[in-house]
Structure 1
Amino acid sequence: MGFDVEAAKPDVDVAIPIPSSKSKFRYNSPLVQVCLIGLVCFCCPGMFNALSGMGGGGQVDPTASNNANTALYTTFAIFGILGGGIYNVLGPQFTLMAGCSTYVLYAASLLYYNHINKQPFVVTAGGILGVGAGLLWAGQGAIMTSYPPVARKGTYISIFWSIFNMGGVIGGLIPFVLNYHRETAASVNDGTYIAFMSFMSLGTLLALVILPPNKVIRDDGTKCSDIKYSKVSTEAIAISKLFLNWKMLLIVPAAWSSNFFYTYQFNHVNGGLFSLRTRGLNNVFYWGAQMIGSIGIGYILDFTFTSRRLRGFVGIGIVAAVSTAIWGGGLANQLAYPHDLEVANKLDFVKSGKDFAGPFVLYFSYGLLDAMFQSLVYWVIGTLADDSVTLSRYVGFYKGVQSAGAAVAWQVDTHKVSLMSQLVVNWSMTTVSYPLLVVLVMLAVKDPSNGEEGATVVAESPAGVGHDGDDVSH
């Protein structure tokens, strides 16, 4: 099983069921804590996604936003990988609050850019946001994958994803409403950025209500993970081993591609084809589609078959089929614009009539696929372990590789690579990831045995690192 030898000592707690209220809506229940981290992400990355989805961060020229995003995802790649270790050392509240505060700074930098058209502050804020995002998403991933009961991880992931993406829906409404009568404008107004900053500040404060895993009690009375916080040296060794971990290597293509397509979709489908106010409306439906996609794939991954491995295979097959259909539609749309997806007369939901329908449905479908794809990958990661210590490292690795891919994508766009080439690369990378996920599920995912939840994990002992990071493995 790979339990740490320290767990055998008499002075270390073991996973003894603790009487708890039957209510799923207890403050210390996994459901409430997953909902709370969903609200934190609703306010911060949810609003950031809505802002990015405008194309160019709501600016007429996406160059500043592209360069800021390159800085963001470069630092995110580093601190995404390190984030799991930082979370294990500092705990959830400080890690999440520090991460959330950087989103406020980034929105403020775009407000600044609205008045002073100089890039350095925006790019610097983007780099700082990458550090914060690495901390936030490592903590979020550990909570979302380790707090839920083993048999309901897909459901809890879909709950989180729905709450989180409601932030994108509300965030899309903000520029839509505030810029409704400015359909010919190029950049969003100041009020748009101020509204985003207000939500992000609220999310920073909400991070303080997240409980550590040893205080979260499942309905059967077991603790999620009764950990003792780790040491920096232990985390450094454990994180370095992830680069030789065959499970993580199989996830690399999926991780790399999972944010790579945002540049193409945001800047050149939404930003390139649609008017300013329509881009805001499109984002409402893009992030709303994510809620639908995450709920659908979450149901399949939790309830369709008794065997968890079979559910994984079916989920991968369904996402692969949907992916092929949607990227095929994207190719058809791209071929309709041989000189790249930039039009002089932008499509407007009021004025463009039937010409608006096809590109709108495509953009909606891209949101659906994004949620299905990422929820699937999170579910697979969640099946590789059950404790927050190991899963924080796994998710940190995933987010780090994901962010490295995104950093490359934003620079690819800055260098004016043809949009057909961008589309083909996006489609190819997501397609390559599916057979590798099948192999991972085949070799690493097993059906849980009774009594597997709530195992004690002592994170600070080097002995735990010697088991490839899987203190509670299947």
Structure 2
Amino acid sequence: MKFRYYSALTQIILVGFICFLCPGMFNAVNGMGGGGQLDPTAGNNANTALYSTFVVFGILGGAIVNLAGVRYTIFGSGFMYALYSASYIYLNHKADGSFTIAAGALLGVGAGILWAAQGMIMVSYPREEEKGKYIAIFWVIFNLGGMLGGILPFAINYHSEKDSLSDGVYIAFVVLECLGAILGLALAPPAKVTRSDGSSVVLVKYTNVVREAIEILKLFINPLMLGLLPMCFTSNFFYTYQFNNINAALFNIRTRGFNNIFYWGSQMVGAFAISFLLDSPRFSRRKRGFLAFGIVFVFFNAIWGGSLALHNKYPEGIESGKRLDFKDSKHASGPIILYVVCGIADALYQSLAYWIIGSLSNNNQKLSRYAGFYKGMQSFGAAIAWQLDIKIPALNQLIANWALFGASIPSMLYVIWMIKDHSEDTVKPDEISDSANEKEVATA
């Protein structure tokens, strides 16, 4: 039993359930468009504040996790998700978005640290030939949260005529997010975790602030990290368009929840399906990367082409008319299917991105910084996208999303080309720690 608890797989499952309860519930709120409000302004401004602080603490998150450890950083970060959901209860009663915006900024701090810890666990704990599978396991559990978060507003608002979420939905989110934060304390110290072959995840001495500061700065002159930058920037940019200009603009409140059940459910399917290719022993790691990229390329061009066709049908959304309901299959089925395929495409993109990062190293300290860099630059793009939604017409946002994906292609191909079949991370003899198993910190 002890070995099972300290196994990499158990820890991946645990962090999956933490993200199921915290970021998963946040995704459910965000996926409703405008945080589940009729007027998306407060939600958009809160997301801009969130991703602005996320940029900084995403980049610093890897260093913070390396210095403070995974359990307490995730524990503290999880409560920031609960605070954010609670702020919408205040918004419902006071119609004042200032608290929601402030809560968004605080959530950016917590989320940056949490996702750096999550990324480190997900891509450094598995063996090289299992990374695609472990990413898929995490993504399936995590997106169960988004599915549950879609079921809650769908069920609670089924007979509601309002176009905003009720207090009861937000209270349910707060309770679940608090449980997720507490679950963070159940994670094992990385120094005690073993891979499926019995090897230890952690081998070397405790890090320090000076070393972490230097290593963070070096990320910005690392050719591979710079090559990943366009991919990182683009990887959450499209959420704003999908959530606000498809789901929120076209559908009534209960159908938004209905759509999110399948949007996040389809992510589980996409992540699971691509994992077989990413771990396939039939191809070299570089070839697997190129094949997976080809699949992502096809899906993203398909969803942006479909989005353009949908935009031409509803150029201004349904702002002045009655929004679509899932029971009106004649009119709603096409947009719903497109939204679901967007979910599959997102899972394919994120799985490939994490797999690429995991292929660059097996060193969990490096990977915590790489994951933090990915989330930081991802948040930079998201912060811009949420603010643009307030000022830029939907068609221009669509064109920007399609163009950004195209611009990221050359550098993505460059990084995939640089992937080796095995990541050799050497450790100097004087760095090996006899007491590593007693340490909470994520050192490597």
Common topology (TM > 0.5): yes
1:330 lines up with 2:307 in the alignment: yes
SS in 1 for 2:315: coil
Deviation at 1:441, TM superposition (A): 1.5
Whether contact under 8 Å (1:234, 1:460) holds in the other structure is: no
2:285 to 285, 296, 308: 308
Identity of aligned residues (%): 51
Whether contact under 8 Å (1:213, 1:226) holds in the other structure is: no
Q: Distance in 1 between matches of 2:376 and 2:219?
A: 12
The match for 1:48 is: 26
Q: Distance in 2 between matches of 1:191 and 1:338?
A: 34
Aligned amino acid, residue 393 of structure 2: S
Which stretch of the first structure deviates more once superposed, 338-347 or 406-415? Answer: 338-347
1:216 lines up with 2:190 in the alignment: no
1:39 to 6, 14, 17: 17
1:360 to 327, 330, 336: 336
Q: TM-score, normalised by structure 1?
A: 0.88
Structure 1 pair 345–459 and aligned structure 2 pair: CA distance change class (3 A): farther
Whether contact under 8 Å (1:222, 1:454) holds in the other structure is: no
The match for 1:62 is: 40
Structure 1 pair 149–304 and aligned structure 2 pair: CA distance change class (3 A): closer
Matches within 5 A, 1:112-261: 112-182=90-160, 184-261=161-238
Q: Distance in 2 between matches of 1:200 and 1:373?
A: 26
The match for 1:464 is: none
Q: Distance in 2 between matches of 1:190 and 1:338?
A: 32
Encode CA deviations 1:137-184: one digit per residue, 9 max, x unaligned. 0000000000011111011001100100000000110101110001x2
Whether contact under 8 Å (2:62, 2:372) holds in the other structure is: yes
Whether contact under 8 Å (1:224, 1:453) holds in the other structure is: no
The match for 1:78 is: 56
Structure with greater proportional helix content: 2
1:425 to 382, 400, 406: 400
RMSD: 2.0
Whether contact under 8 Å (1:293, 1:368) holds in the other structure is: yes
Which stretch of the first structure deviates more once superposed, 81-90 or 216-225? Answer: 216-225
Deviation at 1:459, TM superposition (A): 8.1
Whether contact under 8 Å (1:224, 1:455) holds in the other structure is: no
2:417 to 442, 451, 459: 442
Deviation at 1:340, TM superposition (A): 4.7
Q: Distance in 2 between matches of 1:293 and 1:457?
A: 42
1:373 to 334, 339, 349: 349
Q: What is the count of residue pairs matched by the alignment?
A: 435
Which stretch of the first structure deviates more once superposed, 331-340 or 99-108? Answer: 331-340
Encode CA deviations 1:203-243: one digit per residue, 9 max, x unaligned. 00110111222211123221012243311111111001111
Aligned amino acid, residue 402 of structure 2: W
1:88 lines up with 2:62 in the alignment: no
Matches within 5 A, 1:287-302: 287-302=264-279
Structure 1 pair 224–409 and aligned structure 2 pair: CA distance change class (3 A): same
Deviation at 1:353, TM superposition (A): 2.6
SS in 1 for 2:279: helix
1:268 to 222, 237, 245: 245
Structure 1 pair 315–343 and aligned structure 2 pair: CA distance change class (3 A): farther
Q: TM-score, normalised by structure 2?
A: 0.94
Whether contact under 8 Å (1:272, 1:343) holds in the other structure is: no
Whether contact under 8 Å (1:145, 1:157) holds in the other structure is: yes
Aligned amino acid, residue 312 of structure 1: G
Aligned amino acid, residue 422 of structure 1: Q
Whether contact under 8 Å (2:204, 2:427) holds in the other structure is: no
Q: Distance in 1 between matches of 2:378 and 2:187?
A: 25
Encode CA deviations 1:105-162: one digit per residue, 9 max, x unaligned. 1011111111111121111100000000001000000000000111110110011001
Name stretches of at least 5 consecutive residues in structure 1 with no aligned partner. 1-19, 462-470
Encode CA deviations 1:407-449: one digit per residue, 9 max, x unaligned. 001110122x111110111112122223322211112x11128
Q: Distance in 1 between matches of 2:302 and 2:273?
A: 17
Whether contact under 8 Å (2:147, 2:264) holds in the other structure is: yes
